[in-house]
Amino acid sequence: MVPDNLRYTKDHEWIRVEGDRGTIGITDYAQAQLGDVVFLELPAVGRTVSVGETFGTVESVKAVSELFSPVNGDVVETNDALVASPEAVNTDPYDKGWMLVVRLQDAAQVAGLMDAASYQALVESEGK
């Protein structure tokens, strides 16, 4: 099930916006495609990320994949617990599996991302 309170990218990242901050992670569909996540590389606090830019990598038993930022922002927090226990990406991608928090530079960018229904349609089309 795709949560309604998030926005999504075509690259299977999600963002939850609260005020001027956005929490970012990968979707349940993405983690299922990756398989067991064994390592994460996340950006340093203070780094600026841009839309579509790689902000880190996720390594699974199947592959290493880049992580792409859905918005422009300044990294204000990373999920250090996730780096220590990356399997949380597989077991709880929308809660304990969050990756970073950014201070949004332009909140209007979020409106350009997919809502839950649009993202669900994308996933269904990829599964065919």
Q: What is the pLDDT of residue 40?
A: 96
For residue 128, the model assigns a pLDDT of 62
DSSP state of 114: B
Q: How far is CA 110 from each of CA 14, 46, 69, 119, rounded to the nearest angstrom?
A: 10, 21, 11, 14
pLDDT score for 68: 97
Q: How far apart are CA 44 and CA 34, in angstroms?
A: 24
pLDDT score of 118 more than 90? yes
DSSP 107: G
The CATH number of 7-119, from 3.50.50.60, 2.40.50.100, 3.40.50.720, 3.30.460.10, is 2.40.50.100
Summarize pLDDT for 46-93 with one digit per residue, the tens: 999 999 999 999 999 999 999 999 999 999 999 999 999 999 999 999
Alpha helices in the chain (DSSP H): 28-34, 80-84, 88-91, 116-126
Neighbouring residues of 55: CB distance < 8 A, sequence distance ≥ 6: 24, 42, 43, 47, 49, 67, 68, 69, 75, 100
| pTM to 2 decimal places | 0.95
Q: Quick one: what percent of the chain has pLDDT higher than 90? A: 93
pLDDT above 90: residue 34: yes
Instruction: Supply the DSSP symbol for 43.
Output: P
Q: Where are the domains of the chain?
A: 7-119
- Mean pLDDT of all residues belonging to the chain: 95
